[in-house]
């Protein structure tokens, strides 16, 4: 059991990573840019005291408002001011350089290898199937991965529909191709 697990983890993980990041062209296609990037960077650095996730409107303030009675004694949900954008941002003060990109690629490939290990393990535990059904099994796992990771972000953080669709289709397509390889290697 270990030999196909190791082989499929390595080969499947590399195939999935390559399809996702080198073949599919859409990772940056759904990202927008700011009109005046330097002004936004200045505002972020001036108002985000440390690295981490920031949101507008302030959810902590909203939670405190709901937990404490207002002047009239009611527990209200304060609406953000009209025109306030909804923002979900990850602030990292130092832009990654070439070393960080290499590190991210290595971690990305290893992450996909871990995914391929889990997929192969599940495939080995499933009942005997012909090649096409094994590919379908792995593809459905890719769809599951996309749906369960992208839909909550769309629902809770208002990620745009285009970004969400790409986030669902990417693992579906990548794991279909990974499934072609893994299903061939798993007997």
The proportion of the chain whose per-residue pLDDT surpasses 90, expressed as a percent, equals: 47
| Contact call for residues 159 and 150 (beta carbons, < 8 A) | yes
Lookup result for tokens 């809770």: 156
The pLDDT assigned to 77 comes to 54
Q: Which DSSP string do the residues of 87-130 spell out, in sequence order? A: EEEEE-SS---HHHHHHHHHHHHHHHHHHHHHHHHHHHHSPP--
Please check the confidence at residue 143 and state whether its pLDDT lies above 90: yes
Lookup result for tokens 């990654």: 96
Q: Per mean pLDDT, which range of 62-66, 82-86, 141-145, 172-176 is the poorest?
A: 62-66
Domain boundaries, the chain: 2-35+96-185
Mean pLDDT value of segment 84-104: 81
SS3 assignment, position 45: helix
| Contact call for residues 78 and 62 (beta carbons, < 8 A) | yes
Please check the confidence at residue 93 and state whether its pLDDT lies above 90: no
Rounded CA separation 144/137 (Å): 11
Q: How confident is the model at residue 172 (pLDDT cuts 50, 70, 90)?
A: very high
pTM over the 0.95 mark: no
pLDDT in tens, 6-42: 999 999 999 999 999 889 888 788 888 999 999 999 9
Strand partners for 53: 90
Lookup result for tokens 């990573």: 17
pLDDT in tens, 52-92: 889 888 877 755 555 555 554 444 456 667 778 888 888 88
């Amino acid at each position: 059991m270990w030999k196909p697990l190791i082989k499929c983890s390595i080969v499947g993980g590399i195939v999935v990573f390559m399809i996702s990041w080198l073949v599919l062209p859409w990772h940056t296609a759904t990202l927008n840019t700011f009109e005046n990037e330097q002004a936004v960077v200045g505002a972020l650095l001036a108002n985000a005291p440390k690295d981490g996730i920031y949101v507008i409107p302030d959810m902590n303030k909203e939670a405190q408002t709901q937990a404490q009675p207002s002047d009239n004694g009611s527990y209200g949900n304060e609406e953000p001011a009209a025109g306030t954008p909804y923002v979900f941002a990850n602030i990292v003060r130092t832009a990654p350089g070439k070393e960080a990109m290499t590190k991210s690629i290595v971690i990305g490939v290893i992450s996909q290898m871990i995914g391929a290990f889990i997929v192969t393990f599940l495939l080995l535990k499933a009942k005997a199937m012909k090649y096409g059904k094994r590919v379908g099994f792995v593809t459905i796992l890719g769809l599951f991965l996309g749906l369960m990771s992208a839909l909550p972000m769309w629902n809770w953080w208002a990620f745009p529909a285009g970004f969400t669709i790409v986030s669902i289709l990417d693992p579906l397509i990548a794991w279909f191709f990974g499934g072609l390889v893994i299903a061939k290697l798993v007997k």
